Structure 1
């Protein structure tokens, strides 16, 4: 898990599950060639 922010740390574990689902969707969009501008940025 390279995406670790103190902001996510303060949130409940339930939120982390939602973030993981959102992450998967963003990854699919990236592979599809779409650019999604969200508050979460991926550093690869």
Structure 2
């Protein structure tokens, strides 16, 4: 039984850091527009 020769040469390089940076920029822009605000009012008596 011959083992199949698998290589990662044909895989596309994946830049996780650039993806994360883009996501952070989008979140920051959304934060400045006032989206995603978690300011739940609590009434502790």
Q: Highest CA radius of gyration, 1 or 2? A: 2
| Higher share of residues assigned helix | 1
